[in-house]
Amino acid sequence: MILKADNLKKELKNGMRGGAGTAEIMHLEHPDRLSNGRLFAQITLPPGAGIGPHIHEGETEYYHIISGTGIVEEQDGSKEVSAGDVVITGGGDSHSIENTGSSPLVFTALILFDQ
């Protein structure tokens, strides 16, 4: 199966999880068709925008940074991220992400249920 780019669902979320600005979400698969997870999307955060802190219990979230730079806040502090980095959060831990650069921060987000 091939999902064509013009048919992918896009949405804007203002203040996502209490973060600043507006996140653009392009769903790479419809959540109802994910049997072992609940999100597979490309997320774009403009400069200054972010996704606020949230916990992942019974699931693991993966961010693969495609372009841009930002700060991820994890249990053990703040960490800079840039293209090629992978952020993994699960086991009841929380995280947030903010675009601290001057260009859009683009990343793939995948949430899989723990088994």
| 40 lies in some domain | no
| 85 lies in some domain | yes
| 59 lies in some domain | yes
| 18 lies in some domain | no
Residue-by-residue pLDDT tens, the chain, 115 positions? 999 999 999 999 999 999 999 999 999 998 889 999 999 999 999 999 999 999 999 999 999 999 999 999 999 999 999 999 999 999 999 999 999 999 999 999 999 999 8
| 60 lies in some domain | yes
**What total of structural domains would you count in the chain?**
1
Best CA proximity match to 41, nearest among 68, 17, 9, 84: 9
pTM score of the predicted model: 0.95
The residue range of the domain holding 85 is 55-67+75-94
